[in-house]
Structure formats: C-alpha cells, structure tokens
Amino acid sequence: MELGSARDIWEAVLGELQLQVTRSNYRTWLAQTTGLSYLDNQFVIGVPNAFVAEYLETNQRSLIEKTVISLTREGVSVSFRINDAPPRPASGRPAAVTEGQRYSFDNFVVAGNNRLAYAAALAAAEDPATAYNPLFIVGGVGLGKSHLLHAIHNLALAYHRRTIFVSAEQYTNDFVSALRSRSTEEFREKYRNVDMLLMDDIQFIAGKAQTEESFFHTFNELHNANRQIVVTSNRLPRQVTEKDELSSRLEWGLVASIQPPDYESRVAILKAKADAEGETVAREVLEYLAQQVQSNIRELEGCLHRAIAYARLLGSLLTPELAARSLEDISAGKTAGSLTPDLILEAVAVSFNVSAEELRGRRRDRATALARQVAMYLLKEATVCSLAEIGLEMGNRDHSTVIHACRKIALDLENDPRLKRQVADIQASLGTRSTPAAI
C-alpha cells in the first residue's frame, strides 16, 4: 500500500480505533489526537496535554501501535507528544462535542424496526409523564437504545427540564459510594428531585439486591410524583429482575422494542451518517456496506468510517471494491459481523465442558473461572462489544473484571501452549482468525 502522510494514516487509525474502544473512551482520549510525523519507523502522535499522553501511554499504547502497524508496516513504534497547537478536529468529526450531545431525534433514522420506540421516546420528551410512564426501551446491542435516551435528554435540557441521564452502572456506583460515605440522603435528593430520570442499560442492576431495592424506591417516588422515567435494557423487564414488584412496575407503561434494521434501513442509516459528516459516498458503497453488516448499527457506522478513512489514505475514490478491501484489511472487522456473544459463549462452553449458564454464573472453581476468562477474551477479540457490554453479557460483571480477564488470558496464551491450542481450536470452530489481544 502506498503510504500517505502521518495525518492521513492517523485518520485511518482513528477510524479503526473507534471500533475497538468504547465511544466515551474514544471521545475522551482519542478524538483530539493528531498524526504529527512518521519517520524512520517512529510514528509521533500529537495529544492535547500530559494527562492524555500518560493515559494513552499506559493504557492504550499496544492497541494503538498494533493498529498503526496494521496500516503501515512491522516494526513501527509510536510515541506521544504534547501538541500546543489548537486541536484540529479530525475531518468531519467534531472535536469538542461531549458524549451524547450529538444524538438527537433529528439524526435518528426511523424505520419499521424502531418506529414505536422512536415515537414513544419523542412523546416522553415532549410531554413527560403523560403518555407512557415508565417507558421501557428494549433491544440488542448497537441498535440505538442509548441514542434515543440521549435524544430525550438533549430535548429535555433544551426545555430546561431537570433531567438525569445515568447508566445503571453509574447509578450503582453512586449508590454504593453514598452508602459508604453515609450520604444516602444526598443520593436520594439527587435522584428524586428531577422531572425525568433516564437510565441506560438497567439490566446492570440485576441481582444486585440493594441497588435494586434503592431503584425500586426511587422509581416509586418519581412515579407517584408524576415524573417521567425512561429505561433501556437488552432484556425484557421479567428477565431484568427477579423482584416481581419491580419488574411489574417496569411494565406499567410501555415496553417498546427495537429490532435489527432491515437492509433498506441500513442503507438509509449509512446515508444519513455520511451526510451528517459531510461525506459524499456512492450509493453502491452504502449498499455494499449494508450487505456486509447485518445486525449492529454501531458496527455499520464503524465500517463506514473505516472505508472513508481508507479511501482518503490511498487518495482514491471510494468504490465498493475499495470498501471491501478496507474491511478485509482489518483483523477483527470481517468476522465481527457474524459472531454473536451467544455463539462465542456456546463455543467456549463446549470446549471447556461447562454450560453457557455457568460461564455467566458465579461458580468460582478454577476450571469455570478460566473458561469464563477465555470467553471474555474472545468476546473482546471477536466482537465490537465494549468492555461494559461484555461485562453485561457475562452476567453483570463490571468492566474492570473484563479488562483483567483479557490481560490475563493474553499473558497465559504466551506462556501456556495447551491453552493456546485450545483457544485456537475455539477460534477455528468459530471461523475467526487468531490475532493478538487488542488490550
């Protein structure tokens, strides 16, 4: 491949990193970086301040280096330099927009798969606590649940409504630290003095008895006071909690599901994303990408970014052929579309002779624990799930557990040929290539 400038290469690298890290991670640490120079196998990345430099150096160096190498050549090493010049937004990507701000009802593409959820979300934002309360939005990974929730949030802020947007994980942490610091009264105040409570990924509180209890009370007080509650989840209320009082309350209003988008909707979404970024992308390219990625919109977007960056890197027109090449080049990309967490868990379960349930469960004997860690490692490797989502898949573990598992298995694989073979067999059974851990 002909090499472009440091700037172009870095754009392409960013396109790829976007797929590999969570959105908030990307926004916080990567969105304001630039490609400064590429000379003598040294790739220098400009970062806005020492804090970001240190974070990237300690946490993401190997992932970044691996990605740079995949787009340049073996042996390149990266370094970070503080760049005093004002950050230049990577083309099309606004630099200073905080997470969530860019999600609105306007840039949500409505189709049969999400029409009800969209209409209900809009109604909740326009006329809180009149139509559906609570509104429960349910659907698989990357289908737009958080997007809708942010859209409600942004509209509510525009109307000056007191609104809290919180992930169930944040709520849990908040609650636990309130217990520790004996500031539960403040916690109560915070969550109950609002017009609207928006909680993302409520399944995270499943099985955490005290947090469930706390949420139950929060819910009741808000609902009694006629305040709007909207929650999202990847499971139905009955599967979120065993506590009947809570699950039945979650069903009180409307349960609106979002299904995977059909082909036409996928093309429409790609078109909207390209337009929003001021990119002109040929219809055949959008159609090609929509055929390649079937389930997940986040992944669809990632592939679009990757194809655009790749064409820019080569200085060529983006054609379906080039788009195909951009997808092939990436180690994890191609397989990511077809592999679901369930398939991976099933394959690991078979190999380790445990059940998928046990992988998600709490048993701590060594064999089960190892199998579980391998499952997390493979989920990180072969899907576009974020660490938090992997944690959720694996029975509500938090993301630090996932990081730990991925690091440990990456290390074990270097030292334990038997495990290495076993993991390679699992990957073969899933049809993935074995690539080093992206951690």
Can residue 147 be called a binding residue for ligand ADP (CB under 6 A)?
Answer: yes
Distance CA(132)–CA(151), nearest Å, equals 17
- Residue 394 near residue 402, CB atoms below 8 Å: yes
35 binds, among ligand ADP, Mg ion, none (CB under 5 to 8 A by kind): none
- Near ligand ADP by CB under 6 A, which window of 5-13, 136-144, 212-220, 394-402? 136-144
- Shortest distance, CB of residue 139 to Mg ion, whole angstroms? 9
* Residues in CB range of 314: below 8 A, 6 or more apart: 1, 2, 4, 322
Ordered DSSP codes for 156-215: HHHTT--EEEEEHHHHHHHHHHHHHTT-HHHHHHHHHS-SEEEEE-GGGGTT-HHHHHHH
Q: Which of 200, 183, 135 is nearest to 392 (CA)?
A: 200
Nearer to ligand ADP, 326 or 386 (CB): 386
DSSP per-residue codes, 101-154: TT--STTSPP-TTTHHHHHHHHHHHHSTTTS-SSEEEEE-TTSSHHHHHHHHHH
Should residue 146 be labelled a site residue for Mg ion when binding is judged by CB under 5 A? yes
Q: Give CA–CA dist 66/348, Å, rounded.
A: 26
Integer Cα distance of 13 and 6 in angstroms: 10
Cβ neighbours of residue 168 closer than 8 Å, sequence gap 6 or more: 199, 200, 201, 202, 203, 204, 205
Enter the tokens of residue 338.
Answer: 């077809």
- The residue among 250, 241, 153 whose CA lies nearest residue 204 is 241
Please tell me the distance from the alpha carbon of residue 260 to that of residue 145, in angstroms, as a whole number.
12
**Which of Mg ion, ligand ADP, none interacts with 144 (beta carbon under 5 to 8 A by kind)?**
ligand ADP
CB of 134 to ligand ADP, least distance (A): 17
Identified binder of ligand ADP from the candidate list 7, 145, 372, 380, rule CB under 6 A? 145
- Looking at beta carbons, which residue is closest to ligand ADP? 144
d(Cα 152, Cα 205) in Å, to the nearest integer? Answer: 22
301 binds ligand ADP (CB under 6 A): yes
Nearest to Mg ion of 146, 218 (CB atom): 146
CB of 143 to ligand ADP, least distance (A): 4
Nearest CB to ligand ADP, comparing residues 46 and 302: 302
- Cα separation of 66 and 73, whole Å? 10
Q: Considering only the stretches 35-43, 161-169, 242-250, 295-303, report the one whose residues sit in contact with ligand ADP under the rule CB under 6 A.
A: 295-303
| Long-range contacts from 415-424, C-beta under 8 angstroms, 24+ separation | 419/370, 419/374, 422/351, 422/374, 423/374, 423/377, 423/378
Tell the smallest beta-carbon distance from residue 147 to Mg ion (Å).
Answer: 8
Q: Which does 114 bind (CB under 5 to 8 A by kind): ligand ADP, Mg ion, none?
A: ligand ADP
User: 344-383: which residues touch Mg ion (CB under 5 A)?
Assistant: none
Nearer to ligand ADP, 109 or 378 (CB): 109
Q: By CB under 6 A, is residue 269 in contact with ligand ADP?
A: yes
**Considering only residues 296-315, where is the footprint of Mg ion by CB under 5 A?**
none
> Of Mg ion, ligand ADP, none, which one does residue 219 interact with (CB within 5 to 8 Å by kind)?
none
The footprint of ligand ADP on residues 85-104 (CB under 6 A) is: 103
The yes or no reply on residue 340 touching ligand ADP (CB under 6 A) is no
Q: Total number of residues binding ligand ADP (CB under 6 A)?
A: 17
Instruction: Measure CA 103 to chain center.
Output: 14
Residues within window 41-70 making contact with ligand ADP, judged by CB under 6 A: none
Q: Interacting stretch for ligand ADP, rule CB under 6 A, among 72-80, 140-148, 356-364, 422-430?
A: 140-148
Map residue 294 onto helix, strand or coil.
coil
Question: Site residues for Mg ion, window 234-293 (CB under 5 A)?
Answer: none
Q: Which is nearer to ligand ADP, 294 or 435 (CB)?
A: 294
Residues that bind Mg ion (CB under 5 A): 146
Binding residues for ligand ADP (CB under 6 A): 103, 108-109, 114, 139, 141-147, 269, 272, 297-298, 301
